[in-house]
Structure 1
């Protein structure tokens, strides 16, 4: 009940202070990072909040794009994320996860190592380049669609790196979609590489979680083609007694839905970051 009331109050604050936020000065930087594991440069958008200072340390929200997207998707389609960086005083990092990486280290293609890049190389670069809270208490990760899969996949497998994770319309079980979104280019065909698919789908990684170890927020519209697999993940988390927030509302696989959902998840992650400061 306390968390529900807190979230409602914070959302009202977003609406009430909208006019003020639009005058604030979050800084959007388009930067080039380097992946040693893939031996290539990767573009990244970094948003620092108004008043950013090297004298302070800031939590970081890693925000992942979906299939066929790039690092500019979030800032171009939901410029309001600048407001959330200002209001909650966190840094937002939006890396280019490639057209269809699914944020795996591919077991069949050594040139695709996006788990290594996002969960390790990028995190190290951000912590070395900006004034961050360089611990899991100061890091959260979320994303939409392919990025929703990626965020939970990376967080479940790297709980020493991230303390909180979310998913917006995430492809949290890839097995029902063996012919979609170039997944087979990363894992091989399901028919010939079943083990790769079983070992790298989010819903089969729940065994890695212990109650309370990772703050989790899952959001999916009831009209989304990923709605069923998100409900299945919710049920499995309940079965394993893993606390999590699970939100559904009318809507589909659209930017209109994600624009609304990221406002709520920003509050969720802000609450997580503030709790870390208290601890």
Structure 2
């Protein structure tokens, strides 16, 4: 290449840089037979995605008042999940969990059956439509706030489906908040139905766990209003000799914190996937 041609090449590269590889984002609709309605989800595929290879999948849940698009729109850097999907080569599924479903099957509202939807209907649908590892060794689930509760709740109760789970600022004990976030609309009032609140709070589900069956990571800011219930869950897991990662950093209940926390969690899950695929 002549010198003049080389300088022209440099100018072209400067003015028109080569586009970086990036994950793609699909918005898909799945049908819930149990709730008799269509539900949207975001599916993030890494740039390396191919039908000739099977990819691990992370189910990423939103919080109360949010929706399926939060994780690709609300974080300080909306590209965070896409970038991590690329770097760690995993599919990320962000389902809609209703405004305040808390991701369990409501005993009093048949339109809120999100435990069945996420752990069974959605997983089955994603495995049919995408090139995923169709085994617990290739599935993890986590979420923020209500979604943090939901992720641990679903993983603890469905260890045949998920091999790893996490929570970011999760509401892991519902009992201290009887008037908040429409929980009473899903269970009935606490003073009238305490057994439902007791039986469905994550902190009371540790008896379902055996050491090293699930890989667990819990993250909560020291200034979060859910901080104390997360410490209580951590202590209970220690008492039961359940290995887990527990992260406390300065922070409160907001997307600035979760936009940082998701990087730790996805790296943790990536290591889990690689370990179980060796």
Work out the CA distance in 2 between the residues paired with 1:93 and 1:140: 10
Structure 2 matches for 1:241-260, cutoff 5 A? Answer: 241-260=241-260
Q: CA deviation at 1:51?
A: 2.2
**Which deviates more from structure 2 when the two are superposed, residues 230-239 or residues 102-111?**
102-111
Q: Give the structure 2 partner of residue 218 of structure 1.
A: 218
Q: Give the structure 2 partner of residue 105 of structure 1.
A: 105
Work out the CA distance in 2 between the residues paired with 1:108 and 1:192: 13
Q: Give the structure 2 partner of residue 201 of structure 1.
A: 201
Q: Give the structure 2 partner of residue 35 of structure 1.
A: 32
Work out the CA distance in 2 between the residues paired with 1:24 and 1:168: 28
Q: CA deviation at 1:23?
A: 2.0
Q: Give the structure 1 partner of residue 61 of structure 2.
A: 64
Q: Give the structure 1 partner of residue 114 of structure 2.
A: 114
Larger radius of gyration: 2
Q: CA deviation at 1:203?
A: 0.3
Structure 2 matches for 1:1-279, cutoff 5 A? Answer: 23-78=20-75, 79=78, 80-278=80-278
Secondary structure at the aligned position of 2:205 is classed as helix
Give the root-mean-square deviation of aligned CA atoms: 0.8
Stretches of 4+ moved more than 2 A in 1? none
Work out the CA distance in 2 between the residues paired with 1:255 and 1:24: 26
Work out the CA distance in 2 between the residues paired with 1:140 and 1:248: 21
For residues 22-43 of structure 1, what are the alpha-carbon distances to aligned partners after superposition, in whole Å with 9 as ceiling and x for unaligned? Answer: 9222010011111010000000
Q: CA deviation at 1:109?
A: 1.2
Work out the CA distance in 2 between the residues paired with 1:47 and 1:151: 18
Q: Provide the TM-score with structure 1 as the length reference.
A: 0.91
Tell me, which stretches of 5 or more residues in structure 2 are unaligned?
Answer: 1-18
Q: Provide the TM-score with structure 2 as the length reference.
A: 0.92
Work out the CA distance in 2 between the residues paired with 1:266 and 1:214: 16
Secondary structure at the aligned position of 2:137 is classed as helix
Work out the CA distance in 2 between the residues paired with 1:97 and 1:141: 13
Work out the CA distance in 2 between the residues paired with 1:209 and 1:23: 43
For residues 174-232 of structure 1, what are the alpha-carbon distances to aligned partners after superposition, in whole Å with 9 as ceiling and x for unaligned? Answer: 10000000000001000000011001000000000000000000000000000000000
Work out the CA distance in 1 between the residues paired with 2:59 and 2:102: 15
Aligned pairs, number? 257
Work out the CA distance in 1 between the residues paired with 2:43 and 2:88: 15
